[in-house]
Amino acid sequence: KAGVTQTPRYLIKTRGQQVTLSCSPISGHRSVSWYQQTPGQGLQFLFEYFSETQRNKGNFPGRFSGRQFSNSRSEMNVSTLELGDSALYLCASSRTGTANTEAFFGQGTRLTVV
């Protein structure tokens, strides 16, 4: 069974640009959540989507947004990129997103902002 797929794997963008990252969850999973990982802050929760609705949101500025499609695929968008947005962006999918169902992570997209 295919795992969580994130595209692209690597990305280099210029400060001020915007970027869109994609996540395809495991088949049958309806919850997709996004995380940012940096050396200084560790792994931080960005937001979660379930059945096309944002269910939870972390403490990030409005430049970070996301959406989920009817096939559960999700995208996250970062506008007006800053150097500090350089990070590994991870998505995780879960069948229902409840506490007794495990979440599985993709390999991440490494974003470098120059």
Partner 1 sequence: DAKTTQPPSMDCAEGRAANLPCNHSTISGNEYVYWYRQIHSQGPQYIIHGLKNNETNEMASLIITEDRKSSTLILPHATLRDTAVYYCIVRVAGDNAGNMLTFGGGTRLMVKP
Binding site for partner 1 (CB under 8 A): 4, 31, 33, 35, 42-45, 48, 50, 55-56, 58, 88, 90, 92, 94, 97-100, 102-108, 110
- The distance of closest approach from Cβ of residue 114 to partner 1 in the complex, given in angstroms and rounded to an integer, is 19
- The distance of closest approach from Cβ of residue 32 to partner 1 in the complex, given in angstroms and rounded to an integer, is 8
Under a CB-based contact definition with an 8 Å cutoff, are residues 60 and 72 in contact? no
Backbone φ and ψ of 83, nearest 5°:
-55, -35
- The distance of closest approach from Cβ of residue 51 to partner 1 in the complex, given in angstroms and rounded to an integer, is 12
Strands 5-7 and 19-24: antiparallel
* For partner 1, the closer CB: 51 or 80: 51
Distance CA 56, CA 33 (A): 9
